[in-house]
Amino acid sequence: MVPPGIYTPIVTPFTETGELDDTALALNVRRYLASPLTGLVVLGSNGEAAQLDDDEADRTIAQVRALVPRGRPLFAGTGRESTRATIAATERAAACGVDAVMIRTPSFYKSQMTSDIFVRHFREVADASPVPVILYNVTVFTGVNLAADAVAALSEHPNIVGLKESGTDLVQLADTLSRMRDGFVVLAGSASTLHAALSAGAHGAVLALAGLVPDLCVSLFAAVRAGRHHDALLLQRRLAPLARAIGPTFGVPGLKAALDLLGFRGGAPRAPLRPAPAAAVEAIRAELAALGALETSDAAR
Amino acid sequence: MVPPGIYTPIVTPFTETGELDDTALALNVRRYLASPLTGLVVLGSNGEAAQLDDDEADRTIAQVRALVPRGRPLFAGTGRESTRATIAATERAAACGVDAVMIRTPSFYKSQMTSDIFVRHFREVADASPVPVILYNVTVFTGVNLAADAVAALSEHPNIVGLKESGTDLVQLADTLSRMRDGFVVLAGSASTLHAALSAGAHGAVLALAGLVPDLCVSLFAAVRAGRHHDALLLQRRLAPLARAIGPTFGVPGLKAALDLLGFRGGAPRAPLRPAPAAAVEAIRAELAALGALETSDAAR
Amino acid sequence: MVPPGIYTPIVTPFTETGELDDTALALNVRRYLASPLTGLVVLGSNGEAAQLDDDEADRTIAQVRALVPRGRPLFAGTGRESTRATIAATERAAACGVDAVMIRTPSFYKSQMTSDIFVRHFREVADASPVPVILYNVTVFTGVNLAADAVAALSEHPNIVGLKESGTDLVQLADTLSRMRDGFVVLAGSASTLHAALSAGAHGAVLALAGLVPDLCVSLFAAVRAGRHHDALLLQRRLAPLARAIGPTFGVPGLKAALDLLGFRGGAPRAPLRPAPAAAVEAIRAELAALGALETSDAAR
Amino acid sequence: MVPPGIYTPIVTPFTETGELDDTALALNVRRYLASPLTGLVVLGSNGEAAQLDDDEADRTIAQVRALVPRGRPLFAGTGRESTRATIAATERAAACGVDAVMIRTPSFYKSQMTSDIFVRHFREVADASPVPVILYNVTVFTGVNLAADAVAALSEHPNIVGLKESGTDLVQLADTLSRMRDGFVVLAGSASTLHAALSAGAHGAVLALAGLVPDLCVSLFAAVRAGRHHDALLLQRRLAPLARAIGPTFGVPGLKAALDLLGFRGGAPRAPLRPAPAAAVEAIRAELAALGALETSDAAR
């Protein structure tokens, strides 16, 4: 249900007045469909899900589903702080026809967010969800951690099929991989440790970077699968500077700027986020150029 | 506009089926009105604001405003992740007649949450808000920090009248107090450092503890105001164990359990939060008993 | 045995070839003796104790003791990583005639440094020490924390008479003060929270700042003792910028530069530490000037 | 000068009265010489270097060197807080004939420990050292980090030949590997991320685990070298539980207990460290048994 491979999150473009920009969204999605990426994720962290109203979220999911043909996996982020709001959002996304939902941990009441709480939450959501559930641990944004013991317990649930782990803690990743049930799929979320995560046994990745240089990311994945670790390592090193710039340094504004440089439609993020400053755009342009991505982009336009 | 003094946040009670419990909410509010507390805060962190739908939030604010007479300050939490959603929630709360809105920092995209971003966000909100704005820094839940330089800059805005600072960092508090404009009001949010914060110049506090033992908290405040620091210190030490139990240790579930022990209507928190375990309830009961709060409560019933 | 009041740590001056500079040390100590400071600490963190050989440490203690008259308290830092080395250093310092030893927590094996380990360590040292022991918690350098439960237990030992707590965590400080035995003396170590710590009940302080502006620090202490909290708070705010510059920002190099500006003999720190850069010296000079300390210094020369 | 491969640190055994136990040390070293390990490290963190006097340290190095034949690499830890003490210890170790020195970062004055300070420190040490220098970054104990930019700069020094990186941050490791000069050797120090580090390009490892199950560690290394990543991953998963127990959980006391179980001479650590509690010993015994290490040990005795 979660094919191994490389996925990209889709950003959510806005018009100049701050409304959803359906045209831009459709353009981006269509271009991804022509790439070798295994599938797409709508309303992940990079989709500014935290900043959308429920109505906007539902509409975005429906629009993307209408564009992505069945057979090409499409996952939707439907995590909310309360269990009941998460279930409600999940049911609405399932009604749109997404292949699975990717549900971040609740996180506001940090000191209460124990493994026991997480296990209860995800089990209740998975019991109610009409579609398979992918756990989503993204400590950099949530400030809480879904530990290996919780993942191991949740992997036994028949409707919980995988984990997206955005962290770079290889000790935790290896621990998780060694304790989960067979068939459970782990997708890495950090481009900076992509090779290390795949070497450790991760089955694929969901990467903002894959939305910029899909061919290189897919090549790295294929190299690891084929046991060509030296090639994979060289690719990892080539990708490292762009991975660093896109991820922690410049965030969603940087990703949207990079997409603009490549002929996609990124645009401005929603406030309080601000567009990437000029110096950041130049830094990103330099890294894209170093990877030959700008030429490809010109050709594609 | 923000009178110095001691405020309490109001919890949001739920029925057994998880809906808003209007009856319980009204009972709690009426009891607070009979206390010496300066004012009330609806939909702060302890009000489970993060777990309510917008409709539930609006309805809760309206109900509390209907119960609290004009002249008794009532503040409402209206912070959201996006600037536009924050403005929308603020306008709806203002229409209900709250005296001020208390707006937590946005926090999801942590590495982007710089002082510059915060200043722009709060200025735009304050420009649009029909009622005065109180900044709300609550790092323990948000994982981000509203630094003294940002508070100092925002204190110049005519519609930003104060700060609730929930942290225990006295260095930052002292720095903020020395740099803000005159007339700007700082309310502490941590009972464990109440005496220290008031000694450092804070003008009051918003404390869950004040919803349990309002007389003791008000006495401590009065002692500091009167320069009776030794008395204040003795009160601080008496309050310390309960402050510890209610705050970081047992969180909202503990606060709700404490309210139940005192004859208020706390009830169960919304999932994924769970009711405080039996051992926690006993620990809280012991601390309440040590302060003589249970007898008062019996008499009040 | 530990009179309440304001103490200063003594820096360790070096010659241009990196040897101990006895002349400079004597000059500094004599000047402190003419100040209103309650006492002195030799070989604290600011004394570069971590960078001295045992022979150098012993010699420094002996020299300072020869200069400081009986009746003026002199404490010596004698903490080492192992219990036996700590005891040996303590016995040597006691033989020099120091009034008490101030012993930092061991810290290298951080995950093993539990309260139980600390309690055993300090009890063994106190059992063996010919002079009273002052516990020394300095998390900013050690990376470990001597928690309130350990201090409370150790305060029962007849030869453990006090604590220097260098942290700024007022919650922990208040917790410690409420749990230790009567007569146990707590000295604060952070100038940035001096007023808050004294308000919370600390009995005095050991401050690098007090070695630069002793009169102001002693005045602040006296104001709190006399219940003149408003005066104390104004002094705290005046001292805040210099406190910030001297402490975390510029460290020992900054302290030595400040001493040079005031006519003491600071000199260069021992490598790998480097002299404060020119910009830091200018920043420190500006803060000293703002407090009127440079004029005093010129007059004193 | 630093052959790729698997190294183990040697613990420092003590007699019941707390003195160096030369007999036990010799027994341990001789047993390692019969193993397939590439080489040995004396007075690393696991050798309780922080708790030894200089005389004890020198004597331990001399004794081990006398036992280890030329051709079998022997490295000695000689890091101290000051540059001059580090150079002095390095010269004494070199005089004993060690093949290289492994020098941890100074760390006491944490806020001053910048890349610039580290680069100056290690260059001065390397200029003075008669033998090659291996940088040693062990943040878990020092609380400071030797960043990739500092390692890259230092790798250009002709007498700095390698790095032992004990951290588990694969992003930093990959960054370091991509920026250092050719020929510079990186040894991993965390068994929990051994496979990931070797996959990322590390040339070997210094592991406490390798002192317990040398054959398994060497097999894992060989599997990665031969491109048999699936085999390496299976070995990594087999080793994970013991790696977890030996490293962060039980520390030096756990390592010494494990050695005792295997017929080596571990004994008690020096106070303030305490022997591993009975429950820890049983947990370690279970993990050793699960790996078949106890049988091997019985046969070896």
What is the per-residue pLDDT for D295?
A: 77
Mean pLDDT (whole number) for D189-202: 92
- Per-10-residue mean pLDDT of chain A, 301 residues long, equals 95 97 98 98 97 97 97 97 98 98 97 97 98 97 97 98 94 90 96 91 96 98 90 92 86 97 98 96 96 73 48
pLDDT at B295 over 90: no
d(Cα B260, Cα C160) in Å, to the nearest integer? 44
Which position has the token pair 């006491």? D108
Question: What confidence category does residue B297 fall into, taking pLDDT thresholds of 50, 70 and 90?
Answer: low
Q: Which residue in the block uniquely carries the two structure tokens 């002199």?
A: C74
Alpha-carbon distance of C190 to C206, in angstroms, equals: 8
Q: Is a pLDDT exceeding 80 seen at residue C248?
A: no
**What is the per-residue pLDDT for D14?**
98
Residues paired with residue D164 on neighbouring β-strands, in sequence order? D136, D187
Instruction: Give the whole-angstrom CA distance, residue B212 versus residue B229.
Output: 23
- Tell me which of D120 and C240 has the higher pLDDT: D120
Tell me the H-state helices in C129-193. 139-142, 148-154, 170-179
pLDDT tens digits for range B222-254: 999 998 888 998 999 999 999 988 877 899 999
Q: Is C19 on the interface with D (CB under 8 A)?
A: no
pLDDT in tens, C60-92: 999 999 999 999 999 999 999 999 999 999 999
- Condensed to tens digits (0 to 9), the pLDDT of residues D55-70 reads 999 999 999 999 999 9
Chain A closest CA to D205's CA: distance in Å? 16
Q: How confident is the model over B7-61, as pLDDT tens digits?
A: 999 999 999 999 999 999 999 999 999 999 999 999 999 999 999 999 999 999 9
- Confidence category of residue B298, pLDDT binned at 50, 70, 90: low
- Which residue has better confidence, A63 or D179? A63
pLDDT at position D208, please? 97
The residue with greater pLDDT, C70 or C171, is: C70
C6-22 pLDDT tens trace = 999 999 999 999 999 99
Shortest CA distance from A238: residue in chain D: D178
Residue of D237 and B264 predicted with greater confidence: B264
| Interchain CB contact of A190 with D (< 8 Å) | yes
Give me the residue from A190, A199, A233 closest to D195, CB to CB.
A199
- Nearest C-alpha neighbor of C276 from the set C299, C260, C295: C260
* pLDDT reported for residue B296: 61
Residue C147 has pLDDT above 80, yes or no: yes
**CB-based contact (8 Å) between A251 and chain B?**
yes
d(CA D214, CA D37): 6
Summarised one tens digit per residue, pLDDT across range D200-234 is: 899 999 999 999 999 999 999 999 999 888 899 89
- The closest of A283, A253, A282 to A266, measured between CA atoms, is A253
Subunit contact C192:B169, Cβ cutoff 8 A: no
**What are the distances in angstroms from CA A161 to CA A170, A189, B130?**
21, 16, 48
Tracing tokens 């749990």 back to the chain, one arrives at C179
Q: Do chains D and B touch (3 or more CB pairs under 8 A)?
A: no
Cβ–Cβ contact B169 with C under 8 A: yes
Q: What tokens appear for D99 in the block?
A: 């093949």
Could you give the residue numbers annotated as active site of B? Answer: 164
Beta-carbon contacts of residue A246 (< 8 Å; ≥ 6 apart): A191, A208, A209, A212, A254, A255, A258, A284
Q: Give the nearest partner residue to C196 out of B170, B178, B236, using CB atoms.
A: B170
Q: How confident is the model at residue D1 (pLDDT cuts 50, 70, 90)?
A: confident
Mean pLDDT of the residues in chain D: 95
Spell out which residues of chain A touch residue D240, defining contact as CB-CB under 8 Å: 174-175, 178
**C124–D contact, CB cutoff 8 A:** yes
Average pLDDT over all residues of chain C: 95
pLDDT of B105 over the 60 cut: yes
Q: Is A182 on the interface with D (CB under 8 A)?
A: no
Q: DSSP assignment, residue D159?
A: T
Query: Which of B160-164, B297-301, D166-170 is modeled with the greatest confidence?
Result: B160-164
Chain C closest-CA separation from residue B171 CA (Å): 6
Tokens 């030893």 identify what position?
Answer: C101
Q: What is the mean pLDDT of the segment spanning B170-174?
A: 89
Residues of D that are catalytic: 164
Q: Taking CB atoms and an 8 Å limit, are A50 and B108 in contact across chains?
A: yes
Three-state SS at A137? strand
pLDDT of residue B300 exceeding 70: no
Q: How far apart are CA B171 and CA C189, in angstroms?
A: 13
Q: Which residues of C touch B169 (CB under 8 A)?
A: 168
- ipTM, two decimals, is 0.95
* Interchain contact B128–A (C-beta under 8 A): no
Considering the entire predicted model, what is its pTM? 0.91
- Taking residues B183-190, what's their average pLDDT? 96
Cβ neighbours of residue B138 closer than 8 Å, sequence gap 6 or more: B45, B104, B105, B164, B166, B167, B189
- Are A and B neighbours with ≥3 CB pairs closer than 8 A? yes
Partner B contacted by A147 (CB < 8 A)? no
Chains A, D: CB contacts within 8 A come to 68
Looking at chain C, which subunits does it touch, using at least 3 CB pairs closer than 8 Å as the criterion? Answer: B, D
Which residues does chain C have within 8 Å of residue B200's beta carbon, measured at their own beta carbons?
195-196, 199, 233, 236
Number of H helices, E strands in chain B: 13, 8
CA–CA distance, C153 with C150 (Å, rounded to integer)? 5
pLDDT of residue D297: 58
Q: What is the pLDDT of residue A256?
A: 98
Where are chain D's structural domains?
Answer: 5-239
CA distance A220 to chain D (A): 13
C110: chain D residues, CB-CB within 8 Å: 140-141, 143
The residues, any chain, with a CB within 8 Å of residue A292's CB and separated by 6 or more, are none
pLDDT in tens, B91-102: 999 999 999 999
Q: Where are the alpha helices (DSSP H) in chain C?
A: 22-33, 54-67, 83-96, 115-128, 139-142, 148-154, 170-179, 194-199, 214-225, 229-244, 251-261, 278-290, 293-300
Distance from CA of A2 to the nearest CA of D (A): 22
- Inter-chain residue contact A236 with D169, CB threshold 8 Å: no
Tokens, residue D119: 């680069």
Instruction: Please answer whether residues B255 and B246 qualify as being in contact, where contact means their C-beta atoms are separated by less than 8 angstroms.
Output: yes
Span C121-142, mean pLDDT?
98
CATH 3.20.20.70 fits D5-239, yes or no: yes
